[in-house]
């Protein structure tokens, strides 16, 4: 940890100071041992397949490089990212990793993939043709994946395009198709009829590409249907401790814990208000703790005004509701029920973690844990607890 404690400090030390918990408005602790244990749970439940990891969007907000390095130590070799730049960054950090780029091949950019040794997930005939042409021109057979759309209508070859492609052996032989994959729209609801429909279509298309390893399962599918494991699993959210299911208990361990620093504890008299819009009024003489993080850090403003009343934090061993609107850098909580001697400037309140789960935050905010995690801000002090290996 580098901290220059000097107002004349050069500009580089400003970045370094984010590492100092004593200065932090918010501290994000990432439990790499829990992450690895979540990954192993999925690997153990699917012993016939390789368990990869989806680390797009900076590993769902938790830090792509430390996350991927911990997983590699545990035995993970294949990663999926969304964007080419994410892939290049990951490959630079982990040269031995196999990195698939889900968003596909941008026009004219095959050279970028070759240079960085990352694999495009080819989403259309045009992308397949461009990759094959590039390989022919360079006289190399570069690896790539094929994505078949089985009902999501987002990215991927339409089933008919895939059927036609299967007949173009000369095109497929120009490169090295290492994977055929599809993505489920409703795996978070295992009872949804769409799941079986997508799987049946995937099986039909896949049979046309008999040599290619296959991949269908995201987190939810990896956990509920071991028989859908195919050759490679693509879990994301479950690794990071978010619930991959809607309406079922979360089977995963908590990975991310966010603390807000108490900047000030203040007394608010009955009838006074707290925060913008004077939206919270003290019904009695109250005590308020002001935390050093806000919506600029991913603490959604709507959390202070949810349908079931405001969301809460966990502080001094008790829950405390938000009081007034969450602002850009600050959030106030009502700690009137907590003895004043238990509260002090500089202490931490758990904003998200074992007592206030990411799933609960998501429910309050009317969203999913994916959005809570990927919205986490960039100005926390981030502490990674080691994997213990
Ligand atoms: C994001 C993503 C995943 C991971 O999904 P989770 O629900 O987070 O497990 C898998 N496959 C594709 C194509 C994705 O875009």
User: 3-state SS of 142-197?
Assistant: CEEEEEECCCCCCCCECHHHHHHHHCCHHHHCCCEEEEEECCCCCCCCCCCHHHHH
> From the CB of residue 160, how many other CB atoms can be counted at a distance below 10 Å?
9
Distance 234 CA to ligand 1 centre (A): 6
Q: What local confidence, expressed as pLDDT, does residue 309 receive?
A: 84
- Please indicate whether residue 102, judged by its CB atom, sits closer than 6 Å to ligand 1: yes
Q: What local confidence, expressed as pLDDT, does residue 254 receive?
A: 98
Ligand 1 pocket test, pick from 104, 183, 244 with the greatest ligand atom count within 8 Å of Cβ, gives 183
CA–CA gap between residue 296 and residue 91 (Å, rounded): 30
Q: How far is CA 380 from CA 143, 211, 254, 298, in A?
A: 38, 47, 18, 11
pLDDT tens digits for 138-183? 999 999 999 999 999 999 999 999 999 999 999 999 999 999 999 9
This model's pTM is above 0.85: yes
Q: What local confidence, expressed as pLDDT, does residue 12 receive?
A: 59
CA–CA gap between residue 262 and residue 349 (Å, rounded): 7
- Please indicate whether residue 64, judged by its CB atom, sits closer than 6 Å to ligand 1: no
- Please indicate whether residue 219, judged by its CB atom, sits closer than 6 Å to ligand 1: yes
Grouping H, G, I as helix, E, B as strand and the rest as coil, residue 26 is strand
Question: How does pLDDT run along the chain (389 residues), one tens digit per residue?
Answer: 344 444 454 555 666 677 888 899 999 999 999 999 999 999 999 999 999 999 999 999 999 999 999 999 999 999 999 999 999 999 999 999 999 999 999 999 999 999 999 999 999 999 999 999 999 999 999 999 999 999 999 999 999 999 999 999 999 999 999 999 999 999 999 999 999 999 999 999 999 999 999 999 999 999 999 999 999 999 999 999 999 999 899 999 999 999 999 999 999 999 999 999 999 999 999 999 999 999 999 999 999 988 888 999 999 999 999 999 999 999 999 999 999 999 999 999 999 999 999 999 999 999 999 999 999 999 999 999 988 76
Nearest atom of ligand 1 to the alpha carbon of 155: 13
The answer to whether residues 281 and 271 touch, using CB atoms and an 8 Å cutoff, is yes
Report residue 151 as tokens: 């009902």
Q: What local confidence, expressed as pLDDT, does residue 386 receive?
A: 86
Nearest CA to ligand 1 atom 15: 102
Q: What local confidence, expressed as pLDDT, does residue 264 receive?
A: 98
- Please indicate whether residue 348, judged by its CB atom, sits closer than 6 Å to ligand 1: no
Would you tell me the crossing angle of helices 125-138 and 159-166 to the nearest 10 degrees? 30
Distance 238 CA to ligand 1 centre (A): 10
- Please indicate whether residue 236, judged by its CB atom, sits closer than 6 Å to ligand 1: yes
Report residue 255 as tokens: 């990975």
Report residue 93 as tokens: 């950090």
For the chain, which residues make up each domain, given as ranges?
A: 2-29+253-385, 32-240
Report long-range pairs for 308-311 (Cβ below 8 Å, ≥24 apart).
308/364, 311/356, 311/360, 311/361, 311/364, 311/365
Distance 202 CA to ligand 1 centre (A): 16
Give the residues across from 30 on adjacent strands: 256, 384
Q: What local confidence, expressed as pLDDT, does residue 5 receive?
A: 45
- Please indicate whether residue 69, judged by its CB atom, sits closer than 6 Å to ligand 1: no
| DSSP3 helix / strand / coil % (the chain, rounded to 5) | 35, 20, 45
CATH of domain 2-29+253-385: 2.40.37.10
Nearest CA to ligand 1 atom 6: 236
CA–CA gap between residue 155 and residue 153 (Å, rounded): 6
Burial class, 72, CB count within 10 angstroms (exposed 0-12 / middle 13-18 / buried 19+): middle
CA nearest to 311, candidates 364, 242, 258? 364
Q: What local confidence, expressed as pLDDT, does residue 11 receive?
A: 55
Distance 239 CA to ligand 1 centre (A): 11
Q: What local confidence, expressed as pLDDT, does residue 14 receive?
A: 63
Q: What is the DSSP string of 137-155?
A: HHT---EEEEEB-SS--SS
- Per DSSP bridges, beta strands 176-181 and 26-31 are unpaired
- Cα–chain center distance at 122: 23
Distance 151 CA to ligand 1 centre (A): 15
Active site residues: 56, 276
CA nearest to 41, candidates 189, 215, 223? 223
Q: What is the DSSP string of 80-143?
A: EESSHHHHHHHHHH-TTSEEEETT---TT-HHHHHHHT-EEEE-SHHHHHHHHHHHHHHT---E
Ligand 1 pocket test, pick from 67, 83, 102 with the greatest ligand atom count within 8 Å of Cβ, gives 102
pLDDT tens digits for 190-242? 999 999 999 999 999 999 999 999 999 999 999 999 999 999 999 999 999 99
CATH of domain 32-240: 3.20.20.10
- Cα–chain center distance at 382: 15
Distance 59 CA to ligand 1 centre (A): 11
- Please indicate whether residue 53, judged by its CB atom, sits closer than 6 Å to ligand 1: no
Distance 235 CA to ligand 1 centre (A): 6
- Please indicate whether residue 258, judged by its CB atom, sits closer than 6 Å to ligand 1: no
Nearest CA to ligand 1 atom 3: 218
């Amino acid at each position: 940890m580098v901290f220059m404690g000097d107002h004349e400090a050069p500009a580089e030390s400003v970045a370094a100071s984010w590492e100092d918990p004593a200065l932090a408005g918010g501290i994000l602790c990432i439990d790499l041992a829990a992450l690895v244990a979540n990954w192993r749970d999925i690997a153990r439940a699917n012993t016939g397949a390789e368990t990869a990891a989806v680390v797009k969007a900076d590993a769902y907000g938790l830090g792509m490089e430390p996350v991927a390095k911990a997983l590699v130590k545990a035995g993970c070799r294949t990663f999926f990212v969304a964007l080419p730049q994410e892939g290049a960054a990951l490959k630079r950090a982990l040269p031995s990793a196999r990195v698939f780029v889900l968003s596909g091949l941008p026009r004219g950019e095959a050279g970028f993939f070759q240079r960085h040794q990352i694999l495009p997930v080819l989403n259309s005939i045009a992308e397949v043709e461009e990759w094959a042409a590039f390989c022919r021109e360079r006289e190399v057979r570069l690896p790539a994946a094929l994505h078949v759309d089985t009902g999501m209508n987002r990215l991927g070859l339409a089933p008919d395009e895939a059927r036609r492609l299967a007949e173009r052996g000369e095109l497929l032989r120009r490169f090295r198709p290492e994977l055929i994959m599809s993505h489920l729209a409703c795996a978070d609801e295992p009872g949804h009829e769409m799941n079986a429909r997508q799987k049946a279509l995937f099986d039909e298309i896949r049979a046309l590409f008999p040599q290619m390893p296959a991949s269908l399962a995201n987190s939810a599918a990896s956990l509920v249907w071991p028989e859908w494991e195919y050759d490679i699993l693509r879990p994301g959210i479950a690794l990071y401790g978010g619930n991959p299911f809607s309406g079922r208990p979360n089977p995963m361990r908590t990975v991310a814990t966010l603390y807000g620093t108490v900047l000030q504890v203040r007394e608010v008299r009955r009838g006074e208000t707290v925060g913008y819009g004077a939206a919270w009024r003290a019904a009695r003489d109250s005590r308020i703790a002001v935390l050093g993080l806000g919506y600029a850090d991913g603490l959604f403003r709507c959390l202070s005004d949810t349908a079931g009343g405001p969301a809460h934090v966990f502080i001094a061993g008790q829950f405390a509701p938000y009081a007034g609107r969450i602002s850009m850098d600050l959030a106030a909580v009502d700690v009137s029920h907590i003895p004043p001697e238990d509260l002090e400037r500089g202490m931490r309140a758990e904003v998200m973690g074992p007592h206030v789960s990411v799933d609960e935050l998501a429910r309050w905010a009317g969203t999913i844990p994916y959005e809570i995690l990927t919205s986490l801000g960039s100005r926390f002090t981030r502490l990674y607890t080691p994997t213990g290996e």
